[in-house]
Amino acid sequence: MTFKLTIELSDRDLRHFRRELKRAREAVSIADDEEILAAAADLVATLRQAELPDFITERLQKLQVLQAMLTDADWPLDAAERSPVLAALAYVCDPEDIIPDDIPGIGLLDDAVMIELVFRELRHEIEAFQDFCAYRWSLPKRPRDPQAQAGQLARRRDQLMTRMRRRRKAGKR
């Protein structure tokens, strides 16, 4: 038997989580990108070994999408696009965030909320990245003309990044 729990976050609640994310973003400016990515990779590896509630396991997959966006050499994001993703990773890696991670049963609840919030706010970036990955996956593994295929991939990446930035800009109005 499953039990569905729906929590509606008010504007005030969202402001609170955004303040915490902002705090994490400020911490990101101190930390090196590679340090944050390494900490996130370590966290994912540790969590994969643990017996986790399903709601955390589902968010762990989303966390891996955020990591992939930053580490994919074929998907270069500019500093402004990388910053919120790094902030989310920094927040999740902080064991002393809103709810300390070592509290059994609920320690990762705030991290799950933050991942959902970031996924919602970065939906255009994530959608474009996932479309890019799907396109890249659809290409032949052994192309007859590797240079032509690299050009196709670059054109598709440029189209998706243009779409992502256009949608992001339209959403901020």
Q: Is the domain of 108 the same as that of 133?
A: no
pLDDT per residue as tens digits for the range 111-159: 888 888 888 888 999 999 999 999 999 999 988 999 999 999 999 999 9
Round to whole Å and give the CA distance between 47 and 34: 20
Question: What mean pLDDT, rounded, does the chain reach?
Answer: 87
> How many domains are there within the chain?
2
Cα angle 74, 78, 82; round to 5: 90
Is there a domain that residue 57 lies in? yes
Is there a domain that residue 2 lies in? no
Assigned token pair, 69 = 């966006």
Report the pLDDT averaged over residues 24-34: 76
Report the pLDDT averaged over residues 22-28: 75
Give residue 159's domain range: 123-173
Report the pLDDT averaged over residues 17-21: 83
pLDDT at residue number 118: 86
pLDDT at residue number 113: 84
Select from 78, 96, 121 the last residue of a domain. Answer: 121
- As a three-state string, the secondary structure of 20-41 is HHHHHHHHHHHCCHHHHHHHHH
Assigned token pair, 94 = 């902080």
Between 73 and 116, the more confident residue is 73
Q: Is the domain of 18 the same as that of 82?
A: yes
pLDDT at residue number 74: 95
Q: Is the domain of 83 the same as that of 54?
A: yes
Q: Is the domain of 35 the same as that of 86?
A: yes
Is there a domain that residue 114 lies in? yes
Report whether pLDDT(173) > 70: no
pLDDT at residue number 165: 94
pLDDT per residue as tens digits for the range 76-114: 999 888 888 888 888 888 777 777 777 777 777 888 888
